[in-house]
Amino acid sequence: MSRPFPPVLGLATAILGALLLPAPMVPALGLMVTPAIASHLAGMQRQAARRLRRG
């Protein structure tokens, strides 16, 4: 585990932050958070593929 916290915790924090922010900020936050989650998931898939190849 190279990451300091599980992705679920980060996602929950992002959702909680979005709920606490004023409404105009929510779409902007979504635009920032969504690519981060997508790249994170892609990185996890690459790691899993590497593990499978190493056997």
- Domain membership of residue 49 (yes or no) is yes
The model's pTM is 0.41
- Domain membership of residue 30 (yes or no) is yes
- Domain membership of residue 8 (yes or no) is no
DSSP-derived letter for residue 6 is -
Are the CB atoms for 37 and 11 separated by under 8 Å? yes
Distance CA(50)–CA(42), nearest Å, equals 12
For residues 10-30, give the mean pLDDT: 70
Average pLDDT, the chain: 75
DSSP-derived letter for residue 3 is S
Within a 13 Å sphere around the CA of 3, how many CA atoms are in the beta-carbon half? 11
Question: What is the total count of domains within the chain?
Answer: 1
Q: What are phi and psi of 21, to 5 degrees?
A: -75, 155
pLDDT tens digits, one per residue of 22-47: 666 667 767 777 888 888 888 888 98
- Domain membership of residue 15 (yes or no) is no
pLDDT at 6: 65
- Whether residue 3 has pLDDT greater than 60: no
Domain that holds residue 45: 25-54
